[in-house]
Amino acid sequence: MAKIDVRNLGDYIREQRSSAQISLRQLATLAGVSNPYLSQIERGLRKPSAEILQQIAKALRISAEALYVQAGILEERYDDSDVPAAILSDAHLAERQKQVLLELYEAYRREADAANAEDTTSGVAESKPAAAATPKTSRTRTARRANPRVSATAEGSKKNASKPGSSAR
């Protein structure tokens, strides 16, 4: 993990607070921190936790990820997925839950990348999904066709059994 540049983080929070036209006291109240503590963060004297950063981000109505990047907790990413940003910006999740989800997501991404690399080198990337999907589809179609025949045969047996003189036994 990178070292937090508290001075730049404090400047960034102050800029965001000013642009939102919120006083230091208002932001402290909205974020649930004391005025002196928030002032120390803005002046670069204190290093806030990820949880405090999330509270400040919520109060400023900016993404927590933006503050995490400024703090050096997260590296700025330019990939195609918005999943980490969505996890980090979800106000209903606790910090520990977010960390666990991000770790799981990264593990699944690495696993998928490794599987894709393996499939690409062995040349079976396209055949596996198609082969797996075919039996399910054919079984479903067969089952749908078979059910009317079975019920028609059963109904025919019932009709024959109800006729006088027929031996359904």
Looking at residue 53, its pLDDT comes to 93
Closest residue by Cα to residue 107 from 83, 85, 128, 131: 83
Higher pLDDT pick, 96 / 75 = 96
pLDDT, tens digit, 9 for 90 and up, residues 83-135: 888 888 888 888 889 888 988 888 888 888 888 888 777 655 444 444 444 44
Interatomic CA distance for residues 48 and 37, integer angstroms: 9
Q: How many angstroms separate the Cα of 133 from the Cα of each of 89, 97, 158?
A: 36, 34, 38
Q: How many angstroms separate the Cα of 109 from the Cα of each of 72, 84, 130?
A: 22, 12, 22
Tell if the pTM clears 0.85, that is, is over it. no
Interatomic CA distance for residues 60 and 23, integer angstroms: 11
Residue 12: count other Cβ atoms within 10 Å of its Cβ. 18
Looking at residue 132, its pLDDT comes to 44
Interatomic CA distance for residues 59 and 29, integer angstroms: 9
Higher pLDDT pick, 13 / 166 = 13
Q: Is the pLDDT of residue 144 over 90?
A: no
pLDDT, tens digit, 9 for 90 and up, residues 19-32: 999 999 999 999 99
Closest residue by Cα to residue 67 from 90, 88, 44: 88
